[in-house]
Amino acid sequence: MIRRAALLAFAIAAPGCSSDGAPTGVDDPVVDEESIAEDDLALTPATGPLRFSRACRSGERVTIAAVGDVMPHEPLQRQAYARGWWTVFGGMTKWLDDAHVTYGNLESPTARGIAYTGALVADPGPVFDDWVYTDTPFNVHRGILGALRSAAFDILGAANNHALDRFSLGVDRTLDAMDAAGIAHVGAVRATRRGSFSTRVVRNGFDLRFVACTFSTNGIFDGADQVTHCYLERSRLLSTVRSLRADPDVDAVIVVPHWGAEYSDTPRLKEIDLAHEILEAGATAIIGSHPHVLQPWEKYVTRDGRETFIAYSLGNFVSRHYYLTLARRTSILLYLGLTRGSDGKTFVNGVRYMPIYTRYSGGNWNVTAIDEMGDEVGGYPDARRLATTMFGEWNVRYPGQPLDTTPECR
Ligand SMILES: [Zn+2]
C-alpha cells in the first residue's frame, strides 16, 4: 500500500478528484522534479537471479519486449501536441526496437470527435481541449499511434479500465485508428464484432498469440461486449487460452491482463490464482499492468512441467501522475526470450530487463533507460535501487550489451 503522498511541490487551489486522486480545477502545478513524494512500499527483494532450466537448449529463438502503461496524462499530451510524442518516449526506441516484437498497454482511447460526455463533435485535431482530448476519462489524439509505431511498438493492449472512456463508438474509432497506423491491438473488438479476442503476431518464424483482459471498465457498461473481462469472463478467457494451446500452428500464448491494486507493489491472491490458472490452461507467459508501480515477477512450473513466467505489473512506461512518486516514475523494459526446441515446442529461455525512469529534463517529460544516463546515473540512484531490489542485478541488461536473454550460455 502506498501512503497518499504529501504535496511537496504543488499548490492546491480547488478540491475535486480524478482517478489519480489529484485535485482538479487547478492550474498546471509548478513542478520541481527533484521533489519526489514518498511511497510506502513493501518492496519484496528478489530472491536471486531468475533463470530457466532449458536456457541453453538449442533451437530457434524469438524475443519479446514489453512495457507497462502508456498514460497520456494532461502534461504529456500538452507536451506532445506542442513538441511531438518523440520528446516523450522517442529516446527508448533503440531499446524497444531490437526485440522481435514490442508490446505496451495504451491506457486511453484514440477516438476522434467524441467529447467526454459522449457527444459527437467536430474533431479539434491534436490539441488538449479538455473536451475531446482529455485526462481522466482519457482520450488522446490518434497521432500517438504513429509515434508508438515509429518507436517500434508492434502491438498495444486495448483492454484496460479506460477502454470505454469514449463508450462503445470510442472503441470502434480507436481500433480503426490503430489499424490505420499499422499497429496491432489486443483485448477489444468493434461493436459489430469484427475482430477476435486474441491477436496473432508472426515474427522470426514464430506464431505468437496475444490475449488481453481487464479487471474493470471503470463502471461503464460494456453493452456491446467489446472488451475481455478478466474476472467476469474468466471461463471465456481460459477457454480461449486452451483452444490456442491446442492449435498446432501456435507457438506461444502471451496473456496481458490489466489487473491488480493501484499503487501496491504486491500482487493479491486474486491475481496470483488467475495467473496460475491461465498458465495451467496453456499460456507461456503473463505480462500484467495497471497498478502504476512495479510488482514482482515469478517463474511458475505448471503441473505438466512447463516453466512459465509472470510479470505481475510492469508499472508505467510513461506517465505524469499528479503525485510524483518514485515508484510511479520507475519501471522496467522487460525482455522475454522464447526458444522452439527440436520437438517443435516453445519454452521460456530467459528474461532480462532495463530499469527505466520518467524524468523531467530540458522542459520535457521523457522516459529514459536509467543506465544510459551517463553522468546522470548518480542522479537517479533511488529509482535504479527500487528496480534492482525487486528484480536483482543479475537479470539487468546494460546499454551497450547485445540483447541476449541467456547470457549465461555464452
Ligand atoms: Zn489501468
| β pairing state of 346-361 and 330-340 | antiparallel
Distance 107 CA to ligand 1 centre (A): 6
Which cell goes with 353? Answer: 530487463
Name the residues around ion ligand 1, CB cutoff 5 A: 160-161, 290
**Which whole number is the average pLDDT over 52-60?**
97
Q: How confident is the model at residue 22 (pLDDT cuts 50, 70, 90)?
A: very low
For residue range 381-399, list pLDDT tens digits in order.
Answer: 888 999 999 999 999 999 8
Tell me the three cell numbers of residue 14: 480547488
Quote the ligand 1 centre to 139 CA distance (angstroms): 14
Q: Compute the distance from residue 71 Cα to the ligand 1 centre, in Å.
A: 9
- The answer to whether 271 and 288 are in contact (CB under 8 A) is yes
Cell numbers 493501484 correspond to 262
312-332 tens-digit pLDDT: 999 999 988 777 788 899 999
- The answer to whether the bond into 137 is cis (omega within 30° of 0) is yes
Whether the per-residue pLDDT at 32 is higher than 60: the answer is no
249 CA → ligand 1 middle, Å: 32
Of the pLDDT bands very low, low, confident and very high (cuts 50, 70, 90), residue 196 is confident
Q: How confident is the model at residue 361 (pLDDT cuts 50, 70, 90)?
A: confident
Distance (Å) from CA 304 to ligand 1 centroid: 33
- Report the chain's mean pLDDT, rounded to a whole number: 90
Query: Could you say which of 2.30.110.10, 1.20.1640.10, 3.40.190.10, 3.60.21.10 is the CATH number of the domain covering 60-409?
Result: 3.60.21.10
> b/e per residue, 327-346, with b = 16+ CB within 10 A?
bbbbbbbbbbbbbbeeeeeb
Burial class (CB in 10 A: 0-12, 13-18, 19+), 218: middle
What is the DSSP secondary structure assignment for residue 4, as one 8-state letter?
A: P
pLDDT at 117: 97
Ligand 1 center to 202 CA (angstroms): 27
Q: Give 135 Cα–ligand 1 centroid separation in angstroms.
A: 13
- CB neighbour burial string for 72-111, b if at least 16 within 10 angstroms, e if fewer: bbbbbbbbbbeeebebbbebbbebbeebbbbbbbbbbbbb
- % the chain with pLDDT above 90: 80
Q: What angle do CA 245, 275, 254 make, to 5 degrees?
A: 45
Q: What is the pLDDT of residues 202-229, one digit of tens each?
A: 999 999 999 999 999 999 999 999 999 9
> How far is it, in rounded angstroms, from Cα 310 to Cα 259?
13
Q: Which residue has the cell 477476435?
A: 196
- Contact status, residue 178 vs residue 156, Cβ threshold 8 Å: yes
What is the pLDDT averaged over residues 274-301? 97
On the question of pLDDT at 232 being above 50, the answer is yes
Predicted confidence band of residue 376 (pLDDT cuts 50, 70, 90): low
Count CB neighbours of 191 within 10 A. Answer: 14
Band the pLDDT of 13: cuts 50, 70, 90.
very low
pLDDT in tens, 118-156: 999 999 999 999 999 999 999 999 999 999 999 999 999
pLDDT score, position 40: 73
CA distance 266 to 274: 15
Q: C-alpha cell of 150?
A: 515509429
CA of 161 to the centre of ligand 1 (A): 5
Q: How far apart are CA 92 and CA 95, in angstroms?
A: 6
Measure 287 CA to ligand 1 centroid, in angstroms: 14
Instruction: Say if residue 4's pLDDT is above 50.
Output: no
Report DSSP letters for 142-203, one per residue. Answer: THHHHHHHHTT--EEE--STTTTTTHHHHHHHHHHHHHHTT-EEESB--TT--S-SEEEEEE
DSSP symbol at 91: G
Is it the case that residue 273 has pLDDT exceeding 50? yes
Examine the pLDDT at 6 and tell me if it is beyond 50: no
For the chain, domain boundaries:
60-409
Say yes or no to pLDDT of 107 above 90.
Answer: yes
Query: Taking the CB of residue 360, how many other CB atoms lie within 10 A of it?
Result: 16
Residue 105 CA to ligand 1 centre (angstroms): 9
Provide the β-strand partners of residue 211: 198, 255
Report the C-alpha gap between 392 and 229 in whole angstroms. 33
**What pLDDT is attached to residue 153?**
98
- Average of pLDDT values for 338-355? 97
Question: pLDDT tens digits for 147-182?
Answer: 999 999 999 999 999 999 999 999 999 999 999 999
Q: Check residue 165 and give its pLDDT.
A: 98
